[in-house]
Structure 1
Amino acid sequence: MPIWGEGALLAGGAPVTVPRDPARDAARDELLNPVYHQNDPSILQRAIDWIWHQLDNALATVGSTGTNGTTGLIVFALVAVLIAAGVWWRLGAPRREARTAALLFDDQLPRTAAQYRADAQQHADAGRWSEAVRERMRALVRALEERTLLDPRPGRTAAEAATEAGRALPAQAAALHAAARLFDDIAYGDRAADQSAYQLIGDLDQALERTRPTLSPALDGAA
């Protein structure tokens, strides 16, 4: 790095006098050169180092002989807050990966597929798309139960209904699983419902009514 300031030498060795302020500015500009900062720690690393430094100070305070019980509890609480803040910043908000699937039917009095469809249409007319999607999916599954393609089961989930119905209606198996995922996403609030979501499940409901089940080989031979 060049030497700046009063009394600096030219390349040939002749002395030259540089005013103090320009010399300071030139030195500062030189130090800002990225080549001198390639190995500097990142902002995140400096923040982590600061947190650990604070933790060391807090633990040292707790371990001192002059710390009473109340002060120790306060310090430990501060330590816990610092650790939680550091983990949250580093990893972000914890996300729940595993979740229990939403049940299809949560009403006390069973309703028919026609009743579910009517309720779904009322919600759709009012622009309540989340409720409309849930009611139309329930209508779809209840219709399959009424056709004896599914055994009535109160604790069934949308995914279970799609898997079971897909065996009898293999041509619609993929669409059934897509509708089940859509129902779960909307039921958990991960996805906003809209008219297109309602239309998708409504179209599938109508298509299933026109689809004949595929009998198993044993049942087909008996027929």
Structure 2
Amino acid sequence: MTGAGAGIAAARLVPADGDVPVDTPRVPAREAAQDELSDPVYHEHDPNLLERGLDRFWEWIGDLFAGATGAVPGGPLGLVVLALAVVGLGTALWWRLGTPPRPVRSPEALFDSTLCSAADHRAAAAAHAGARRWAEAVQERMRALVRSLEDRAVLDPHPGRTADEAATEAGRLLPAHADRLRAAARVFDDVTYGGRTADEAAYRTMCTLDADIEGAKPLLTTGTVPGASG
């Protein structure tokens, strides 16, 4: 009970003429004072629910900090040193292990639903390279390489074929280029599904391989056209 509220309550228990105070029992007097203090006029400046919640929160933070300070040797200074040590350890781990790798998507089909010729893919690759979009340029040049093999009947057309599958099949028929084909497929997958970037050197390497494959003569096996050398 505040002093003002108690004074008002007490005043109501005294007759207006001020002659003789009324002897009111303790319980009725307390109830009368509570009724008086329940008047909204006394609570206009009380904190609202959010303010009370924030007050409780900061009290909890203060208690937590006080408890931690008492538990750590050296008091507040020891707590600061411990916090700096934790931050330093986290930084060292991040520096040592690096940022978490991006999730690698499962390889999908090399070609989309749009049917383009090898020349179309080469033109698209050149346009991307001219704009220094090396990842897209590498992708289109790999597609041009595989489409060229299909056009020459070195590989059977297969809409759902992945870059790895195309490189493996072509490598059996062009063993002299098998390693380079597998490397090209890895670059394509890294750029397309692994979130990695490409550069001009990767694009030039893909172009050189495409040109070399264009002039290579495949082994004569079932499913190939004799003398198909471009």
Partner residue of 1:166? Answer: 171
Q: What is the aligned length?
A: 133
In structure 2, which of residues 93, 106, 109 is the aligned counterpart of residue 103 of structure 1?
109
Per the normalisation by structure 1, the TM-score is 0.53
Partner residue of 2:33? Answer: none
Partner residue of 1:114? Answer: 119
Q: How does 1:5-154 map to 2 (within 5 A)?
A: 99-106=105-112, 108-154=113-159
Q: What SS does structure 2 have at the residue aligned with 1:184? A: helix
Contact 1:120 1:136 in 2 (8 A): yes
Q: Does 1:196 align with 2:201?
A: yes
Q: Does 1:175 align with 2:180?
A: yes
For the residues of structure 2 that align with 1:185 and 1:169, how far apart are their CA atoms?
23
1:192: Cα distance to partner?
A: 1.2
Counterpart residue identity of residue 145, structure 1? E
Counterpart residue identity of residue 135, structure 2? S
What residue ranges of structure 2 are gaps of 5+ in the alignment? 1-84, 90-96, 226-230
Distance 1:208 1:92, change over 3 A: closer
1:182: Cα distance to partner?
A: 0.4
1:97: Cα distance to partner?
A: 7.5
Distance 1:128 1:98, change over 3 A: closer
Per the normalisation by structure 2, the TM-score is 0.51
For the residues of structure 1 that align with 2:117 and 2:222, how far apart are their CA atoms?
31
Partner residue of 1:38? Answer: none
1:190: Cα distance to partner?
A: 3.6
Q: Does 1:216 align with 2:217?
A: no
What residue ranges of structure 1 are gaps of 5+ in the alignment? 1-42, 48-90
Where in structure 1 do 4 or more consecutive aligned residues deviate above 2 Å?
Answer: 91-99, 188-191, 216-220
Q: For CA contacts below 8 A with separation 6 or more, give which structure has more relative contact order.
A: 2
Distance 1:123 1:93, change over 3 A: closer
For the residues of structure 2 that align with 1:192 and 1:218, how far apart are their CA atoms?
36
Contact 1:102 1:184 in 2 (8 A): no
For the residues of structure 1 that align with 2:130 and 2:100, how far apart are their CA atoms?
38
Contact 1:116 1:136 in 2 (8 A): yes
Q: What SS does structure 1 have at the residue aligned with 2:220? A: coil
In structure 2, which of residues 155, 161, 183 is the aligned counterpart of residue 156 of structure 1?
161
For the residues of structure 1 that align with 2:205 and 2:156, how far apart are their CA atoms?
24
Structure (1 or 2) with the larger CA radius of gyration: 2
